[in-house]
Amino acid sequence: MEWLMKRAEELARKHGVDYYEIRLIKVTSRRLAMSNGQLRELSSNSELGVGARAFNGAWGFSSANDRERFEKAIETAMKIAKLSRGDARIYLGDPVRDEVELRVKKPFTAVDIEEALSLVKEIDGMLKGEKIVNRNVSYGDSVVETLYFNSLGSEIRTVVPRIRLGFSVTARENGSMQDFWKSFGGTVGWELIEGIDIDYWTSHVKEKVFELLRASSPPSGEMDVIADPELTGVFIHEALGHAVEADSVKNGDSILAGKLGEKIAVEGLNVVDDPTLPGKFGSYPYDDEGIRAKRVEIIRDGVLVNYLNDRETAEYFGLEPNGHARAESYAYQPLVRMSNTYVEPGDWSFEEMLEEVRNGLYMLGDKGGEVDTANGTFTFGAKLGYIVENGELKEPVRDVALSGKILDVLKNIRAIGNDTRVEFPGYCGKGQWVPVDDGGPHILTRALVGGLR
């Protein structure tokens, strides 16, 4: 570390670079995957690499995972920055010296990989059943240790553990095939695994996939929709969250450009992105530009009040930096990314929402989709749906999609539930993958509904 800091300083003087930042990252990880009782992956890896950036009105970047090339990577980043000279500006701020390790109750590093394998085998066995034609179980854990320093004098060391467990089933009957799955994860230890009721959740996944086999096709048209906490989280992450990433706004790829301070949603709607939430899958103490992670209110009482930003976009928009520059690994440049994105609770119970719906749908879970943040449109699939008639849940429907205009759906929200949950871990892609979490309460809105193609 000291040697790299000294050489970076010397190289910056040599190449006339005013600002640089170096990330030295060590990742220790394990992964197990099983399909239908067959072990597909059993790995334990450790990797050390450096990611170097330099700024000279434009960014230069280089990386290496060979100690002999660390210095070369730093110099290459500085050469690129010098050649790419631009007129952009970045937020600098004061130097930070800190050391943060996210603590866990029971380190998974103390758990033998044999125990993790036994867990995976146990779950695979519990997923067996009539009509089940495919079973998948995966487990992964990692410890990411980052040493960050920059030309301002910042020196930051962080240690972030992360663990994830997921399983899925595919069932077939009369030519129809359906899937259902469940995932768990967080910046915690093995206590996550010990707190999961495996009997309940494996039974739940099978019960829901069988229900999907019996389900009918959904109705189509504009109607009242109740979204469960998982679907609420997906909508907020995909439809709103990407639109408030400040690089998208700056590049003209967001319908929310120029709308700070404007009312874009129903009164009472509050949306937050918070990387400081304890134990969540998308949590971290500092971002990959050495900025302290901060809770960000995106929407307050229906008004757009902030964008998620990095050093460059914070300076561009005149905003306070909020620590949302994230990179998949040392080999990638940081981009503006979400962390844990969710809707804060309102006052409504689920039962009160149901009573409001005469003819509509209750939609559960996330089955993927697409968003056009520039035009403000979206389409999402739900894992499962139920017809709602006169305040009562009726028959299930499958292959159901929700679509519409982002701002219309936000303004059409009629009820916000009091049951917020942020417990739907996953990985978000934007040219590179980072761990995130999302959620919210049940919400009642109005949107277009139809079948998935």
CATH number at residue 205: 3.30.2290.10
117 with 258, same domain?
A: no
Residue found by looking up tokens 């205009």 in the block: 405
189 with 256, same domain?
A: no
135 with 53, same domain?
A: yes
- Whether residue 452 has pLDDT greater than 80: no
200 with 234, same domain?
A: no
pLDDT tens digits, one per residue of 115-127: 999 999 999 999 9
What's the structural domain count of the chain? Answer: 2
165 with 298, same domain?
A: no
59 with 161, same domain?
A: yes
What is the average pLDDT across 219-246?
96
Produce one character per residue of 223-257: b if its CB has 16 or more CB atoms within 10 Å, e if not. Answer: bbbbbbbbbbbbbbbbbbbbbbbbbbbbeebbbbb
**Domain-terminating residue out of 197, 214, 231:** 214
349 with 251, same domain?
A: yes
Is the distance from CB of 95 to CB of 291 less than 8 angstroms? Answer: no
CA-nearest of 233, 141, 257, 197 to 423 is: 233
Containing structural domain, residue 132? 1-214
Rounded to whole angstroms, the Cα distance separating 111 from 9 reads 42
CB neighbour list of residue 217: distance below 8 Å, 6 or more residues apart: 397, 398, 399, 451
What is the average pLDDT across 138-162?
98
What is the average pLDDT across 87-114?
97
191 with 268, same domain?
A: no
238 with 208, same domain?
A: no
**Domain-terminating residue out of 181, 214, 247:** 214
Q: What percent of the chain has pLDDT over 70?
A: 100
- Take residue 65 and report the two structure tokens written for it: 């995972």
Q: How confident is the model at residue 451 (pLDDT cuts 50, 70, 90)?
A: confident
pLDDT at 1: 76
- Whether residue 368 has pLDDT greater than 90: no
257 with 209, same domain?
A: no
185 with 235, same domain?
A: no
334 with 225, same domain?
A: yes
Please state the pTM of the whole predicted model: 0.97
**Domain-terminating residue out of 169, 199, 214:** 214
Cβ of 208: how many Cβ atoms within 10 Å? Answer: 22
Q: How confident is the model at residue 437 (pLDDT cuts 50, 70, 90)?
A: very high
CA neighbours closer than 13 Å in the CB half-sphere of residue 426: 18
pLDDT at 14: 96
Rounded to whole angstroms, the Cα distance separating 342 from 299 reads 11
What is the average pLDDT across 329-342?
98
Q: How confident is the model at residue 370 (pLDDT cuts 50, 70, 90)?
A: confident
pLDDT at 453: 62
Which residues, in sequence order, are bridge partners of residue 101? 159
What is the average pLDDT across 319-347?
98
